[in-house]
Structure 1
């Protein structure tokens, strides 16, 4: 039975709301999967977008939703958007789950979260070569524990993002309260050490270690949904 707390789902870079399709059927709450702009369109379409364009698109989608109170679930670079949504909807946000989420410190960007020298090199690489990785990199880093058909769908639908999504410095007033971080133990995109730093940045008191690659919502949807359902139930019961 669906309860009155909604779930806002934020996907990672290059992906789309379709990644949540398998998980959604196991969730006990009404859902709003956010869609970043211009999915599955030409590789140059998003070049001129600002970080604020991504954020404002998400805000508009939430404003057009009938649910008042909701939990934010942010995956990967979706953590950057999630932090800003937590600020914007602070009276309506009733929880925050980061799934291998990037959580920059105040005034920092997605790229700043990487260790040296990557944090210095990555912005230049993105500007020179674009934000859509080679097929082999997508498969090895995002799809290492997925079935072949699932990997092919990720590659086929992968959308190049604006460099600004990665390099814009993010300011926010406060961190989400009572947050949960789902640490992915087989993630080949966001390392264990990097996830540990994100847990510290989020000031997260609750961490669940999950034996999954970067996309558990595709590889292990039922198990992921169980974690989400339990988190929301425990918050509602407390």
Structure 2
């Protein structure tokens, strides 16, 4: 019995030692990689001072009308993520991609991520850029922030476009923020992406751009801003339930058929938001949640037609 017990103790000790060495190696590899990648990140866009911090913005195109693009939750680099859509829109419009705090190359912030704070910061950014009239085009959770925004700045916003955008009454899941942050800090998240790189959702771009997105993913993954944003999901969605789109504001929703299959109430919830809007419509495209990766041409073409149709009826 003593011999068996001794063998068991040795085996357990060996397993524990191997695990500790493995976790320590993963941790230090991640630390070294993070430091090395800081020097490899390529700058893009321009910095705007907002609430005492730097917010990164890309402006492309010189059309008379302006479109402001806002990202979905957790997007590593909004500028690079929206690249296919910017390419399609910029020949006709001035396109402004805003990277909120904690996203892309913008600073992080410890200011609570309520919809109100988010809206205040985006508006201050546009004011600093002297952009007074614009269309808001937002992906995913920007549907919630956008709804808050257009109600506060109705005179500035000329139209709202939702790309498979969130709605106030949809179900919201709580993210295990602390656990996911620990996963990233431990280096295990980097290891998981190394084993299965397809977990990273990104548009069809060149390898250099993919590498930049990957590095920014490790840099920004559930940083302080995104952690606070996740913690405030339920409150922000609940507060948005009091809001409706202004009657005279043109609104168009581009929805993904895959999302509709997963959530049968997806299209009806969007249609419900349009019931009191003079110029509103819902368009469904084949594809997944990131329609701006796969349907940028269709979105651009339909949006131009949507605006032209409204102008012809004025």
Please indicate the TM-score interval, normalised by the length of the shorter structure.
0.7 to 0.9
- Bigger radius of gyration, 1 or 2? 2
Cα distance in 2 between the residues matched to 1:67 and 1:232:
19
Q: Do 2:274 and 2:281's aligned partners in 1 also have CA atoms closer than 8 Å?
A: no
Change (3 A) 1:91 1:185: same
CA RMSD after TM alignment: 3.5
The gaps in structure 1 that reach 5 residues or longer are 106-112
Match of 1:75 in 2: 139
Equivalent in the alignment of 2:85: 23
Once the two structures are superposed, the pairs formed by residues 71-220 of structure 1 within 5 Å of their partners are: 71-105=135-169, 113-114=170-171, 119=172, 122-123=173-174, 125-130=175-180, 139=198, 142=201, 155-158=214-217, 159=220, 160=222, 161=226, 162=228, 163-169=230-236, 170-171=239-240, 173-176=243-246, 177-187=249-259, 191-203=262-274, 205-220=280-295
8 Å contact kept, 1:23–1:217: yes
Structure holding more helix per residue: 2
CA shift, 1:140, in A, is 5.7
Structure 1, 220-229 or 146-155: larger mean CA deviation: 146-155
Structure 2: give runs of 5+ residues left out of the alignment.
1-60
> C-alpha displacement at 1:212, in angstroms?
2.0
Aligned to 1:223: 298
Q: Give the whole-Å Cα distance in 1 for the aligned partners of 2:87 and 2:290.
A: 16
Which TM-score applies when normalising by structure 1?
A: 0.73
TM-score after normalising by structure 2: 0.58
Say which structure, 1 or 2, has more relative contact order (CA 8 Å, 6+ apart): 1
